[in-house]
A and B are shown apart, each in its own frame.
Chain A
Amino acid sequence: MLSLALLPWVHRTWTNSQRSRRTPSIGTELEEDRAFEHFDDRDDVHEMRETSVHEEGVPSGSMRERLSKARGMISARLSGIRGGPVNSSMWEELEEVLILADVGVDTTLDLVNRLQDRAEAEKLEKGTDLLEALKAQMKNDLSRDRELSLTASKGTVPVWLFVGVNGVGKTTSIGKVARRLTDDGLNVLLAAGDTFRAAAAEQLEKWANNCGADFVRGSEGADPSSVIYDAAEAALAREVDVVLADTAGRLHNKVNLMEELAKVRRVADREPGQVSEVLLVIDATTGQNGLSQAKEFTEAVGVTGVVLTKLDGSAKGGIVFAVERELDLPVKLVGLGEGDLDLVDFDPESFVEALFGDD
């Protein structure tokens, strides 16, 4: 019981550790993990070769076609908006629609304020026009480069690192990406970097077998960095085009786990591997916490794009709108179902339409 009495103690230790972090002379030498001391940080400025994947083969309408389900609450509000003239309750309803889609309070207020300015300037009077203006504005906000990069210097293999919190669908997304890339004729190697969750490697192995990709794993509880490093070595030897590396799900507020992930990224980026994409997987049902996830993961491992999964459910995934807007992180892929082929390029147009439950 009485160790509660240690609180003042823990407090001071803690704050002192903060102090020593700021004073580089004390304590900081322990920060770096010793196991990987022999790798120094090299900023190789090799000649880059551009081999971005142009995602052909996926019909451009496919995201739209599959996003037509689940309207309910939102569409009821929308039909109200469409029918009527522009008035104050309509603004409130628009706000509700956006908040219900998980766009978030701040982003919603910003969108609606801008829309109000526009409505005034253009003298919009009908609800339908207002809605169209809002959609146009949102689509405009979503104009970004969404290409996935297979760029790597000579003698190295591009590595795509999949990161995210628990249960968002990292392993499944890798399986589906592998399926897509192998269908495009690329040689893919899957690295089972999730050495924590029971049977995660088995799950990934099944995907590898499904699409004929190479597969590298370590033992359960092994150091994920070493598994991915080994995978890159194997990939180079087997002339593989890209390594898709799985990582264990982790909550972004766990300092140690995020440090581990940062190390995974560092090691994955050593020759013969070169990290060309760090894809943050976000579940479409995620609420405002998605923003916090994107911030923390970006800070720790430099996320280059978002994979939005489970968008085939009733959730709208509006949080990625906030993520794109606030962190300038492009959504690159969208998961639309359980099938192997249900991972498609993100299409802002259909995403915005679906946000409002439209066809």
Chain B
Amino acid sequence: MFESLTDRFDGILGRLKGKGRLNESDVAEAMREIRLALLEADVHFNVVKRFVERTQTRCLDSEVTQSLTPGQQVVKIVNEELTTILGGESFQLAYSQNPPTVVLMAGLQGSGKTTSSAKLARWFKSQGRNPLLVGADLQRPAAVEQLETLGQQIDIPVSSSATNAIDAARKGLEEAHLTGRDVLIVDTAGRLTIDSALMDEIAQISDAVEPDHTFLVVDAMTGQDAVNTAEAFHATLELDGIILTKLDGDARGGAALSVKEVVGRPIAFASTGEKLEDFDQFHPGRMAERILGMGDVLTLIEKAEEVFEQEAAEEAAQRLLEGTFTLDDFVDQLRQVRQMGDLSSIMSMMPGVPKEMKDASIDEREIDRLEAIVLSMTPNERSNPDVVDGSRRTRIADGSGTTPAQVSNLLKQFKEMRKTMKGMAGLGSKTNSRKSKAKKAKKGKKGSKKAGNSRVQPKDDPNVPKLNVADLDLTLPGQ
């Protein structure tokens, strides 16, 4: 998500960063490019205009132009303004004093309300709540069935037993009271803002259940119209926040930037994948940093903490740094990383990852293949990869459905990695001796990244070809 915007900003600001002195035309040129980049990213026209005006004024301030590092100052200002646009502080979810806490979902057709309702329910459940879903979408054929199926998958009850949407919502509320559910999520039919009858209906649903939070579900791929939609829903329903969906696409997500700016409500949650767990609270500050190519370490760490067992992870880390990391550990780690979600989305959160890698989509099957290779080895081979000779290699390749060349490739890289990590061990521990172990891991990583540019890191190996998505041969034979 936001990658292309990131690229553009990288380029534009990168040119400024190096400059020792900024004049008005440098800034104007950068602002012109930022304007185009934002428009291409579907940020609303008026929002772009205001953003550029504000940023330009601040950048021309004498403090900036006369500072020793004006380029850095500009980056900082753009970052701050972006953060403001994206919603400043994160959305704070408050639970009602008198349960259930009622959440109303609204949006256009196809924005992802039903899926988001289920994802939100799952999220509440993971926070220790007992949600109840209400299927009040009686327009789209089989919408309620869809919600019921999703409800079964996450083991959350779905209430739906009415002939009209308002009754359905009301009954859901009663059911929540009766069954002691403390969160009620009302899924509604998609509607166009110019359809006054349906807008009226959702206003009535809102009156019937008196929601504590009303969320507008917005597709990240939406264009300029996102703002009109948000304004119209806000006028009818008094929105509390936005749920942004389909962020795992390659949309530049300008809608996200605009909606908040126009209705003054933050993006509360974002959906980043097809799986029901690909859904989380939205943190504007982190997102701005990501747009500016600074990575999103905080989210990454949170995600990691969700899936990793602290002790096991630390042990593995220790072995990695000592150089006694085995292929078993490797497969273990790989699996855990994959539990965190889509590899490419993880990649996009890492600071300092080359653009080419972020842009390229990772073929997860490639990883399956790696796993298959390791699993085709004997325990002894996994801990002492050096024993693998020609005949073992052939056996492993046969067992994993790969070629001997792929097996030796993996082994070669594994050994190289082990060596690199061992080399890095010193760096991490010296500089962070007083930090906690978990912190140390993170810092060590970050430190090494920086060091990589000038010293030991082999990552920017000039022999490794740059990825180019356009070069990927994804077409079919016969086409």
Tell me whether A and B are bound partners. yes
Q: Is A133 an interface residue (CB 8 A)?
A: no
Q: B379 — which chain A residues lie within 8 A by C-beta?
A: none
Whether A6 contacts B334 in the complex (CB less than 8 A), given A18-B467, A256-B365, A299-B475, comes out as yes
Q: Once bound together, how far apart are the Cα atoms of A207 and B225, in whole Å? A: 29
Q: Which of A57-65, A115-123, A282-290 contacts the other chain?
A: A282-290
CB distance from B47 to the nearest CB of A (A): 12
How would residues 218 to 238 of chain B score, 1 for a CB under 8 Å from any chain A CB and 0 otherwise? 010111111011001000000
Q: Is A158 an interface residue (CB 8 A)?
A: no
Number of interface residues of B (CB under 8 A): 111
Q: B474 — which chain A residues lie within 8 A by C-beta?
A: 255, 258-259, 262, 299-300
Q: Once bound together, how far apart are the Cα atoms of A19 and B139, in whole Å? A: 50
| Chain B contacts with A in 437-479, Cβ cutoff 8 A | 438, 441-442, 445, 457-459, 461, 464-465, 467, 471-479
What is the chain A residue whose CB lies nearest that of B360?
A14
Q: A8 — which chain B residues lie within 8 A by C-beta?
A: 417, 420, 457-459
Contact at B475–A313, with CB atoms within 8 Å? no
Contact at A285–B226, with CB atoms within 8 Å? yes
Q: Is A30 an interface residue (CB 8 A)?
A: yes
Contact at B465–A19, with CB atoms within 8 Å? yes
Whether A165 contacts B246 in the complex (CB less than 8 A), given A3-B337, A26-B403, A258-B474, comes out as yes
Contact at A313–B314, with CB atoms within 8 Å? no
Q: Is A326 an interface residue (CB 8 A)?
A: no
Q: A26 — which chain B residues lie within 8 A by C-beta?
A: 403, 405-406
Q: B41 — which chain A residues lie within 8 A by C-beta?
A: 288
| Chain B contacts with A in 189-247, Cβ cutoff 8 A | 192-194, 219, 221-226, 228-229, 232, 245-246
Q: B476 — which chain A residues lie within 8 A by C-beta?
A: 262-263, 265-266, 300
Q: Which one of B110, B223, B232 has the highest number of Cβ atoms from chain A below 10 Å of its Cβ?
A: B223
Contact at A287–B223, with CB atoms within 8 Å? yes
Contact at A199–B229, with CB atoms within 8 Å? no
Contact at A198–B145, with CB atoms within 8 Å? yes
Contact at B363–A300, with CB atoms within 8 Å? no
Contact at B110–A283, with CB atoms within 8 Å? yes
Contact at B313–A3, with CB atoms within 8 Å? yes
Contact at B142–A199, with CB atoms within 8 Å? yes
Q: A338 — which chain B residues lie within 8 A by C-beta?
A: 139
Q: Is B316 an interface residue (CB 8 A)?
A: yes
Whether A4 contacts B36 in the complex (CB less than 8 A), given A18-B465, A285-B219, A287-B221, comes out as no
What is the chain B residue whose CB lies nearest that of A41?
B478
Q: B377 — which chain A residues lie within 8 A by C-beta?
A: none
Q: A166 — which chain B residues lie within 8 A by C-beta?
A: 110, 112, 246, 274
Contact at B333–A266, with CB atoms within 8 Å? no
What is the chain B residue whose CB lies nearest that of A302?
B479
Contact at A255–B442, with CB atoms within 8 Å? no
How would residues 300 to 341 of chain B score, 1 for a CB under 8 Å from any chain A CB and 0 otherwise? 110011001000011011001000000000100110110000
Q: A262 — which chain B residues lie within 8 A by C-beta?
A: 474-476
| Chain B contacts with A in 261-310, Cβ cutoff 8 A | 274, 300-301, 304-305, 308
Q: B457 — which chain A residues lie within 8 A by C-beta?
A: 8
Q: Is A83 an interface residue (CB 8 A)?
A: no
| Chain A contacts with B in 199-232, Cβ cutoff 8 A | 199-200, 202-203, 205-207, 220
Q: Is B12 an interface residue (CB 8 A)?
A: no
Contact at A14–B441, with CB atoms within 8 Å? no
Q: Once bound together, how far apart are the Cα atoms of A14 and B142, in whole Å? A: 41
What is the chain B residue whose CB lies nearest that of A9?
B417
CB distance from A250 to the nearest CB of B (A): 8
Q: Once bound together, how far apart are the Cα atoms of A116 and B413, in whole Å? A: 58
Contact at A1–B413, with CB atoms within 8 Å? no
Q: Once bound together, how far apart are the Cα atoms of A286 and B36, in whole Å? A: 18
Q: Is A143 an interface residue (CB 8 A)?
A: no
Q: Which of B23-31, B249-257, B388-396 contacts the other chain?
A: B249-257
| Chain A contacts with B in 325-359, Cβ cutoff 8 A | 338
| Chain B contacts with A in 132-156, Cβ cutoff 8 A | 139-143, 145-150, 153
Contact at B223–A7, with CB atoms within 8 Å? no
Contact at A251–B223, with CB atoms within 8 Å? no
CB distance from A55 to the nearest CB of B (A): 24
What is the chain A residue whose CB lies nearest that of B193?
A314
Q: Once bound together, how far apart are the Cα atoms of A252 and B248, in whole Å? A: 10
Q: Is A155 an interface residue (CB 8 A)?
A: no
Q: Once bound together, how far apart are the Cα atoms of A315 and B416, in whole Å? A: 54
Question: B residues touching A (Cβ–Cβ < 8 Å)?
Answer: 36, 39-42, 45, 108-112, 139-143, 145-150, 153, 192-194, 219, 221-226, 228-229, 232, 245-246, 248-252, 254-255, 274, 300-301, 304-305, 308, 313-314, 316-317, 320, 330, 333-334, 336-337, 343, 347, 350, 353-354, 357, 360-367, 369-370, 401-403, 405-406, 409-410, 413-414, 416-417, 420-421, 424, 438, 441-442, 445, 457-459, 461, 464-465, 467, 471-479
Question: What 8 new A-B contacts, CB under 8 Å, besides A5-B317, A11-B353, A11-B464?
Answer: A4-B350, A7-B459, A18-B467, A198-B149, A199-B149, A251-B246, A310-B192, A315-B228
Sample of 7 A–B contacts (CB below 8 Å): A26-B403, A105-B39, A202-B141, A255-B361, A255-B472, A265-B476, A313-B108
Question: A residues touching B (Cβ–Cβ < 8 Å)?
Answer: 1-21, 25-27, 30, 32, 41, 43, 69-70, 72-73, 96, 99-102, 104-106, 165-169, 172, 175, 196-200, 202-203, 205-207, 220, 251-256, 258-259, 262-263, 265-266, 283, 285-290, 292-293, 299-300, 302, 310, 312-316, 318-319, 338
